[in-house]
Amino acid sequence: MIHTGHESMIVRRSAALVIPLVQLFGLYVLFFGQYGPGGGFVGGVMLAASLIAGILVFGPDGQPAATAKKLLKTDGLGLLIFAGVGGLCLIGGGAFLNYSSMQLPGLDDPTRRYLGIVLTQIGVAADIAVAAVSIVFSLYSASSNEVSDG
């Protein structure tokens, strides 16, 4: 049987309320992870979990799944951001991800460090979210092929 989403209106309405809150908290964890627990990995997992919950509740043809499919088009962007920040550090004469070595004109050292950390965390979060959503769509594709082959 192919999954078409949850039938209960209570589950759908609850998910429509909770999913944006999880995404907002995931962004909070992503952007404020350098001050406490959290960061790119945890923020990316939370964002991916919210998209996966939307796919499970509203089905693979619903609006959350369409958003998740758009996210899959950004595959590799996180790695590009991460490597780009590290490359800017190398070009500046420092070690990879030595944020104070980034050559960005007009920024003082603390601002360069903050910007480097945030961009690195965004790159990590993007790759984690894309990988998790990609796994879900791959599993869905494999299960729908088994149903049509059987």
> How many residues are listed for the chain in this entry?
150
Q: What is the mean pLDDT of residues 92-120?
A: 88
Which has more confidence, 2 or 27? 27
Q: Is residue 79 part of a domain?
A: yes
In a domain, 1, yes or no: no
Q: Is residue 3 in a domain?
A: no
The pLDDT of residue 86 is above 80: yes
Residue 45's pLDDT is 96
Give the percent of the chain with pLDDT over 90: 49
Owning domain of residue 40? 9-149
Nearest-10 Cα torsion for 65, 67, 69, 70 = 170
Number of structural domains (the chain) is 1
> Each residue of 18-28: pLDDT tens digit?
999 999 999 99
The answer to whether position 75 is within a domain reads yes
Average pLDDT over the chain, rounded to whole?
Answer: 88
How much is the pLDDT for 1? 46
Tell whether 64 is covered by a domain: yes
What's the pTM? 0.84
Flag whether 26 is in a domain: yes
Least confident of 98-102, 123-127, 144-148: 144-148
Place 145 in a pLDDT band, splitting at 50, 70 and 90. Answer: low
Note whether residue 126 is domain-resident: yes
Instruction: List all residues 6 or more positions away from 16 whose beta carbon is below 8 Å from its beta carbon.
Output: none
Asked if the model's pLDDT at residue 144 lies above 80, the reply is: no
